[in-house]
A = this chain, B = another copy of it.
Amino acid sequence: MTTSAEDEGTGEGFTAAVVGGSGFTGGELLRLLVGHPAFEVVQATSREYENKTVGYVHPNLRGLNLRFSSPEELESVDVLFAATPHGVSMQHIDSFRDAAGLVVDLSADFRLPEADAYDEWYDGHTATEHLADAEYALPELNRGNLPGAELIAAGGCNATATLLAMKPLVDAGVVTGDDRVVVDVKVGSSEGGASGGKASSHPERSGVVRPYAPTGHRHEAELEAYLDLPTAFTVHAVEMVRGASATCHAFPDGPVTKGDLWGAYREAYEDEPFVDLVAGGGGTYRYPEPKAVAGTNRAEVGFALDPGNERVVAFGAIDNMMKGSAGQAVHAANVALGLEETAGLDQLGLHPVGSP
């Protein structure tokens, strides 16, 4: 492979750094930025793998001529992507913003608009003065506020799958904040990040249907903040590495038809470059499935109507590493910088594919 970090630079391009480049979403950012026509990666940090090549950790990037460097010595770049665990970005946000005009953070540190919410759902916030500057990354929700933003917070993966599934119902008034929605999410093991642990060892994690967050999942906070929707949220770990799939059970107050639903979803996503509607139809793939979008920035969104139970079931399926984090981050950066929205994000899914 002859791809080289240096080759990518062009007069009109942007330089980029990835803090946390040895992690799962950091590696995904590198994959995307290396193939992006407008970005040149000049730094990827890792404390554990300092001085090792990026390909030592990420075998798909063996062709990349770049070594990990310390997060203590950040280069000046146009865009700094932070793919570090919760809490790290809020600690280093001043130096991140010193190093780059645009910071895109993948953690939860700047996702919620109110400092209070961090006290309720996380362990508080230590850099609240930056919260007002932060824009939620998901363009389908917040496209208008991204151009020119200086601090962007990529949404949570499970929240993203749910938001995309439910937003058309909320916007169309089919569901209101008074109705409780039950959200049952199934996720892959890459959500846990690269640091491992006993429960995520292969023998223990294989083949599970494991209720890993039966209640109290932190992404409820994002749904309240951005959809104004109280959700009863439960997350299961299932056998896949990449993927998050949200099944949302909503109970509209009045009667609703399939036509109403198609209207709501087409209205919401007709012009969206990364959302496909999959709702019924024929063949093997009739509803959203994460494996169909693995490796891509696409979201599959769909619904089914259950008249007997006066229920609408809404589905959202994404790749947690892409639309659920790194892809969403690059998409938002594209919008913020005035680039083509799909630049660097035109990967197609695979068929057939196993459990990606």
Contacts and interface: CB of A to CB of B under 8 A. Distances in A.
A354 B31 contact: no
A354 B242 contact: yes
A282 B51 CA distance: 13
Interface residues of A, number: 99
A71 interface: no
Contact of A206 (B56, B196, B355): B355
B203 A241 contact: yes
Tallying the copies of this chain within the complex gives 4
Contacts of A209: 186, 238, 240, 243, 245, 289-291, 317
Contacts of A59: 278, 284-285, 289, 292, 349, 351
Nearest to A354: B241
27 contacts: A24-B351, A52-B282, A56-B282, A57-B283, A60-B292, A60-B351, A61-B351, A182-B184, A184-B247, A196-B198, A200-B203, A204-B352, A206-B206, A206-B291, A206-B354, A209-B290, A209-B317, A211-B247, A214-B315, A231-B309, A232-B251, A240-B354, A242-B353, A294-B350, A295-B350, A295-B353, A353-B356
Interface of A: 1-2, 24, 27-28, 31, 34-35, 52, 56-63, 180, 182, 184, 186, 188-190, 192, 194, 196-211, 214-216, 230-232, 234, 236, 238-243, 245, 247, 249, 251, 273, 276, 278, 281-292, 294-296, 298, 304-306, 308-309, 311, 313, 315, 317, 346-356
